[in-house]
């Protein structure tokens, strides 16, 4: 196993850090307060090549590996988890679905703009009545001549209100259960496509989250991604890879919180000395650093397995589960280290703590990750079938 980043990955991380210190860190608190998605900065990330690191070169990407994309998501989440989530959903989910399962014509039509950040992608699986049990969706796709007619409502869609390209899962064959679900591309401006009420969130307020409503939206049959009925299997594969990104995202939040806590502890004096000299504080930071390292290593293992073409579902779930719980734990400790100042909006750690909670919910809750891991343990005979 190689535990080191390559020179190229180190360089990407450094360039991203320089950009984030300049263009993200000074504004993150305001975007959070105003619930403002920084579209312009998203575009800049695209033009600088960050959104395309892991996409094929013919579409404007850099053709790098999964870990390189994780380096980008982790590096962004360290400063602004909302913007980082917007990028992760755009890259791993929407663009990743098109790159992985789209036809050559679909890739050529959509990927160059998505990779360059000129267009934004959204990925629509969840519905008001179906989250963890995504296959229970009720959005329908009915064939009518050369078109499919989409009807239904998608819930909690990241970039839902700002996207240009939507990947939508819908039931095309109601009798066929999971193999009756297909995936479609819907473009912004399609008649009958709208977004519902603005969803007010606990955290990640610089990320746009919206209901996506499909009211008799006609899409050409050429918008179908892959075979009819392949949509659910595609979505599971997309989620499997997406979890590696979310593991990196959660690790980035934890790292950002640890850095803020350590810096504060060196400045803040009580009983005549910096609180960083108290063993109780040092141990909290030591535990943070250890858990962050472990989360990063689990994430790196899942990414390496994926790039080697080996099964990685359990490893991706383990990375996502551990990194999410690390993010929640570390951000709570970061607030603790700040004392009363951690509880107020003058310091960023309360935002990190609010943002971290989604890691335990999105792209499969922690309970769902444990179910996936347990299923694998059942297969190996550790648990009864």
**Active-site annotation holds for 240:** no
Give the CB-nearest residue to ligand FAD: 131
Nearest to ligand FAD of 64, 250 (CB atom)? 250
Nearest to ligand FAD of 328, 368 (CB atom)? 368
User: Of the residues 21, 363, 367, 380, which is catalytic?
Assistant: 363
Q: 166, 186 in Cβ contact below 8 A?
A: yes
Output the CA angle 71-369-331, nearest 5 degrees: 55
Q: Of the candidates 320, 351, 315, which has an alpha carbon nearest to the alpha carbon of residue 249?
A: 320
Nearest to ligand FAD of 69, 158 (CB atom)? 158
Shortest distance (Å) from residue 117 CB to ligand FAD:
17
Interface positions with ligand FAD (CB under 6 A): 89, 123-126, 131-132, 156-158, 201, 204, 209, 358, 361-365, 367-368
Output the CA angle 362-363-368, nearest 5 degrees: 95
Q: Cα(first)–Cα(last) distance of the chain, in Å?
A: 32
Shortest distance (Å) from residue 159 CB to ligand FAD:
7
Nearest to ligand FAD of 211, 350 (CB atom)? 211
Q: Of the candidates 20, 149, 181, 158, which has an alpha carbon nearest to the alpha carbon of residue 87?
A: 158
Pairing of strands 121-124, 165-171: parallel
Q: 152, 110 in Cβ contact below 8 A?
A: no
Nearest to ligand FAD of 162, 361 (CB atom)? 361
Shortest distance (Å) from residue 278 CB to ligand FAD:
36
- Report in angstroms the alpha-carbon separations of 358 from 26, 65, 189, 321: 23, 26, 30, 12
Shortest distance (Å) from residue 243 CB to ligand FAD:
11
CA–CA separation, 209 vs 155, rounded Å? 9
Shortest distance (Å) from residue 322 CB to ligand FAD:
16
Give the residue numbers marked as catalytic.
363
């Amino acid at each position: 196993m190689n535990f080191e980043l390559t020179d190229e990955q180190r360089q990407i991380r450094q360039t991203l850090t320089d950009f984030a210190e300049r263009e993200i860190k000074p504004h993150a608190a305001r975007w959070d307060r105003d619930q403002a998605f920084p579209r312009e900065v998203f575009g800049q990330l695209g033009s600088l090549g960050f959104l395309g690191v892991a996409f094929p070169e013919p579409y404007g990407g850099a053709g790098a590996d999964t870990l390189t994309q994780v380096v980008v998501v982790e590096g962004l989440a360290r400063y602004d988890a909302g913007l980082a989530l917007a990028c992760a959903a755009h890259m791993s989910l929407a663009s990743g679905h098109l790159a992985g399962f789209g036809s050559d014509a679909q890739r050529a039509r959509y990927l160059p703009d998505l990779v360059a950040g000129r267009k934004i992608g959204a990925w629509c699986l969840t519905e008001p009545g179906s989250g963890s049990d995504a296959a229970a969706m009720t959005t329908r796709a009915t064939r009518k001549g050369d078109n499919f007619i989409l009807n239904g409502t998608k819930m909690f869609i990241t970039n839902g209100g700002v996207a240009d390209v939507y990947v939508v899962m819908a039931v095309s064959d109601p009798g066929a259960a999971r193999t009756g679900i297909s995936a479609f591309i819907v473009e912004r401006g399609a008649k009958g496509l709208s977004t519902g009420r603005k969803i007010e969130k606990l955290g990640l307020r610089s990320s746009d989250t919206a209901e996506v409503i499909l009211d008799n939206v006609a899409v050409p049959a050429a918008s179908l991604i892959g075979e009819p009925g392949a949509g659910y299997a595609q979505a599971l594969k997309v989620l499997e890879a997406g979890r590696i990104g979310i593991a990196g995202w959660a690790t980035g939040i934890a790292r950002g919180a640890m850095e803020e806590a350590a810096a504060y502890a060196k400045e803040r004096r009580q009983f005549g000395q910096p609180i960083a000299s108290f063993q109780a504080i040092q141990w909290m930071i030591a535990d943070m650093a250890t858990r962050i390292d472990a989360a990063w290593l689990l994430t790196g293992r899942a990414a390496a397995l994926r790039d080697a073409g080996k099964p990685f579902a359990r490893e991706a779930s383990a990375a996502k589960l551990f990194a999410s719980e690390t993010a929640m734990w570390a951000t709570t400790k970061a607030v603790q280290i700040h004392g009363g100042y951690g509880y107020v909006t003058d310091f960023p750690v309360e935002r990190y703590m609010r943002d971290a909670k989604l890691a335990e919910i999105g792209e499969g809750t922690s309970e769902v990750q444990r179910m996936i891991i347990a299923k694998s343990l059942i297969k190996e005979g550790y648990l009864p079938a």
